[in-house]
Structure 1
Amino acid sequence: MAAKFLDAAARAAFTSAIQAIEGVSAAEVVVAVRRRSASYLHANVIAGVAVAVAGLAVTLFSAHEFALTSILVDPFVVGGIAGALVELLPGAKRALSPQKLRHREVLRAARATFIERGVHRTRDRSGVLVYISWLEREVVLVPDSGVERVLAGDAGADATRTLTAAIPDGGAAVARELGRLAPALAAALPRRADDVNELPDAVDSDLERGER
């Protein structure tokens, strides 16, 4: 499912949106898509412990008489398997992770990616990172100082909410919403005659590389 979010059509849509923004404004846009922003191992532990406790209760209180080794071993084996299976269930990780924790991890990862991808290295500090975290179903905009005034306050919050709301409809839907930021960016940061493309337009994604 994660790979389908960023299929060929979505990649093309993101490239078009980036070029539309950069064609009319001085902003330099980088899109990064990550499978998840943290491991959320507590979700594995919660699921494993819950299943182990349930299994232990069954062996202790069932009408069937279990061998002592089954009582001492089987619940924990089943719990361990359940905890491991959570890695294959991003929805379970999301459900077992508080929204504030998810948001904090997405912000942390987005800011780190901003530096890692060199979004801060543009001539006029006009870079904008569009960070999409698939497991958390969240988009974060990280603007450099030259763009921050455009995406500060309500404008930035509204854009973030709109982009995030489009995630369930797929990457192409998010790209369409991203392209709609072009007029606002053009009005605040008009493209100059000597503007050059300083950052890559291709989407930076780890969805194809599997879980980190």
Structure 2
Amino acid sequence: MQRTETFFSPAEREQIRQAVAAAESATSGEIATMIVESSGSYREAQTFGAVLLAGFAAVVVAVAFHHVTIWSYIPLVVGLYFPALLLFRAFPRLKLSFVGRRRLHEAVRERALRAFYEKGLYRTREETGILIFISLLERKVWILGDRGINEKIAPNFWGEIAGTLARGLREGKGGEALCRAVAACGVELSRHFPRRPDDTNELQDEILTPDPASG
């Protein structure tokens, strides 16, 4: 699994920080970016996948040794289950094949919502905080705005920006794609929330990462 600390290079992190600062220079809105390794453990998919893999491998072994009976097959499945489970743990993306699209969608949405409150984005003066949330394992993006933003901008507006950013992540152009997404959010925010003379920077411009306790 890719680590949050190394996914963006130091140069990309600085470019993203500058992109956030530039986007906020024309709006009273506050933009935060956050990256997590995954939005869920998907243990049910991991277990199911390991059982299937162990079952398939047991068939192959039983056929190879010409000893296909229920009394040999079941012990083989049990014996192969734990190596299969270790394989899924070592390569987490394998378990995504056993996770439904709706489950992934909900996991990322719920993790983004939790991050919004954990990082205090709801505490901005005019309720104009916005979170661009990236979940690496799922290669999914969720953009979440506070109440002040949602009163003027429909939440589904951010879907196209999130989709473009997700494609950039999958294509290995995450830093560039995130800078463009930040800029696009800034343009829209400036239309509805122009910068005030007494505006202050209420959220850090650097990429946020999860607290160790929250994962």
Q: TM-score range by the shorter chain?
A: 0.7 to 0.9
* Percent of paired sites with the same residue: 26
TM-aligned CA deviation for residue 149 of structure 1: 4.1
CA distance in 2, matches of 1:130, 1:45: 31
What is the number of equivalent residue pairs in this alignment?
209
Pair 1:170 & 2:179 matched: no
Match of 1:2 in 2: 2
The letter of the residue matching 1:189 is: F
1:84 match: secondary structure: helix
Pair 1:190 & 2:194 matched: yes
TM-aligned CA deviation for residue 193 of structure 1: 0.7
Q: 1:70 to 1:13 in 2, by over 3 A?
A: farther
Q: 1:183 to 1:137 in 2, by over 3 A?
A: same
CA contact (8 A) 1:139 1:163 kept: yes
TM-aligned CA deviation for residue 171 of structure 1: 2.6
CA distance in 2, matches of 1:15, 1:97: 34
The match for 1:148 among 147, 150, 156 is: 150
CA distance in 1, matches of 2:136, 2:31: 19
CA distance in 2, matches of 1:57, 1:87: 23
CA distance in 2, matches of 1:198, 1:33: 19
Pair 1:75 & 2:77 matched: yes
CA contact (8 A) 2:62 2:72 kept: no
1:23-68 residue CA offsets vs partner (Å, 9 max, x unmatched):
11111111110100000112221221112222433454444459x9
TM-aligned CA deviation for residue 153 of structure 1: 5.2
Match of 2:39 in 1: 37
Q: CA RMSD in A?
A: 2.6
**Structure 1 length-normalised TM:** 0.86
Which 5+ residue runs of structure 2 have no aligned equivalent? none
2:165 match: secondary structure: helix
